[in-house]
Structure 1
Amino acid sequence: MQTTQITLRAPAKINLSLKILGKREDGYHELETLMQKIALYDELELSLTGELGVRIHCQNTELPTDESNVAVQAAQLFLNETGNSSQGVHIALKKISPLLLAWAAALATRQRF
């Protein structure tokens, strides 16, 4: 089977303001937030494979690689909804360095004042 691959970038963002308005009936919180995208991003490389299921690889070992990972959940939902349950997806996730994010947040805060 031929492998099909796509690479996507997910832009990072920083919260300039975050206010918790209350708790919703579903247990989540209602939020009011002001966010700004920044010029850093995570990169997702998705490959459609002949192997069943969804596999994920990430250099950040603190992230879950099981069904609790939202990228795994989204890929599984995609396979189910498109009728591709006889195929699988491999996800290679390249996360932004936390140090770069901290630097970007500090710079944005400094520019705000």
Structure 2
Amino acid sequence: MAVARGSHSGAQFLDPAVLARISNLELLARTVVDGFLTGLHRSPYLGFSLEFAEHRQYMPGDDIRRIDWKLFGRSDRHYIKLFEADTNANFSVLLDVSASMSYGSHEVSKLDY
């Protein structure tokens, strides 16, 4: 199998021609990894994430970076923004498959690369 190595990072990349030859290869996971069933249950814990949960009044010792300054401007009281605890973040991957991605050289298009 042809593998190119990055000189500084040590990262390994497979040659697109090799990927084309093994495209029909079926892979089975030995174990189910954390996040396989993400989104089925909300966490009962509060933590750091992207999803806002609630406000609570500021108490001495709280991290001042978590103060909601917009709410302070409206109410003249300090409140902390609390977020749901996440172990996995949901995200989307957008892939450009337009005709311009068919351009390439040496039998490999930009999309295949």
TM-score over 0.5 for the pair: no
> What TM-score results when the alignment is normalised by the length of structure 1?
0.27
Higher-helix-fraction structure: 1
Higher-strand-fraction structure: 1
> Which fold has the larger relative contact order, with Cα–Cα distance below 8 Å and residues 6 or more apart in sequence?
1
Pick the structure with greater CA Rg: 2
> What TM-score results when the alignment is normalised by the length of structure 2?
0.27
